[in-house]
Structure 1
Amino acid sequence: MNVVMANQPNLLAYLKRELEFEFSNGPVDLRRVRNYVSSPRLFDFYAKGIELPGMIEAGDTYLDRRTMLADRSQKTFALSYADWVQHQPRVEVVGNFAARDSSIMNIQVWPYAPAELDEFQMAIAVALAYTKRELDAESRISSAIDDVISAYGFFTDEF
């Protein structure tokens, strides 16, 4: 068994092959995918609103666009580590801010360019970028992830 990243070409076919037995019994628990695909989130930080090349919606913001999940005031975006290194001097990282301050954004740094992922790869990457602590703190996130990945034959009952 190899652990791959979400940008693995033909990721869905890879998972269906690796989890063939599980798929033969119906939808597969997304927790099993954590054994085959790594989280893309290297680190994250809050920053004063800035648009950077290669930055796309991730986390709650991604899920909010596709489900009934209500996003927080701080939108979440992902960008590649290479883009982060290139643009870091332009970014104003912040530590403290008001809960409703929508000028602040959460930026996740991933090892690859999130904009290059197909829809399935992005759905898996977003799902796996959540930590157990984040999922435990807000049960609606698991439900929103389930809404996005159920079309691919996965479920998140205890994700």
Structure 2
Amino acid sequence: MSDSSVLMMADHPDLVERVETYLREMYTLGDGRSPLRVLRTLVSSPRLADFRVRNFNTDGYAMVGDSFLDEHSMLADWSQKSYGVELSRWRQIYPTLEIVSDYELRDELITRVQVWSFDPKVLGFEAMKIAVTLSYTDLELYRQPRLVGALNDLMQMYNLETNPDAR
């Protein structure tokens, strides 16, 4: 059995193998899937904060959140694309950015920037799937049920149920 007392980051080099083993060994629902809360006991969310930025230069940043799901599932993205920025990089660029709180929902000049604890560009596809899944809060999953379906499809190979009501 895995050591469930160790919480790891989503950029851990053995993430995918450890997640597969952990989810096989841990609590499952009646249909054999594990609830998202089980995965959260092994891997922490990489997302630290969210900002809306006008005219953000996205060159060199990885798509995360809804934009990643838009690329890899049936989920349609918002007008504002989501990109991940590592915390130390965020601290460097923050003073030069135009952070906004009031904007039109269809304004494509606005980018949704998620500050992550590490650079999401270092992740392979499977690790990114896990990290993006964990980056959503239960409140977001309640408010946007379409996310649950997209995440369940994305995480199908792990038998993970992302509905926060799953017991």
**TM-score higher than 0.5:** yes
Q: Which of residues 114, 125, 135 is equivalent to 1:129?
A: 135
Q: CA deviation at 1:73?
A: 1.0
Contact 2:50 2:113 in 1 (8 A): yes
Deviations 1:75-111 (A, max 9, x none): 1111101111121122110010011111101100011
Number of the residue aligned with 2:52:
46
Q: Which moved more, 1:10-19 or 1:90-99?
A: 10-19
Unaligned runs of 5+ in 2: none
Relative to 1, partners in 2 of residues 1:30 and 1:132: Cα closer, same or farther, differing over 3 Å?
closer
Distance 1:127 1:63 in 2: 9
Equivalent pairs: percent with the same residue?
Answer: 34
Unaligned runs of 5+ in 1: none
Number of the residue aligned with 1:35:
41
Q: CA deviation at 1:74?
A: 1.2
Q: How many residues align?
A: 158
Relative to 1, partners in 2 of residues 1:118 and 1:21: Cα closer, same or farther, differing over 3 Å?
same
Deviations 1:49-68 (A, max 9, x none): 21255421111110011111
Q: Structure 2 length normalisation: TM-score? A: 0.86
The structure carrying a bigger helix percent of its residues is 1
Q: What SS does the corresponding residue of 1:42 show, helix, strand or coil?
A: strand
Number of the residue aligned with 1:18:
22
Relative to 1, partners in 2 of residues 1:91 and 1:44: Cα closer, same or farther, differing over 3 Å?
same
Q: CA deviation at 1:20?
A: 3.9
Relative to 1, partners in 2 of residues 1:157 and 1:45: Cα closer, same or farther, differing over 3 Å?
closer
Number of the residue aligned with 2:77:
71
Task: Give the root-mean-square deviation of aligned CA atoms.
Answer: 2.0
Deviations 1:101-150 (A, max 9, x none): 11101100011110001112111111111111111011110111111111
Q: Structure 1 length normalisation: TM-score? A: 0.90
Q: Which of residues 4, 10, 13 is equivalent to 1:6?
A: 10
Contact 2:33 2:161 in 1 (8 A): no
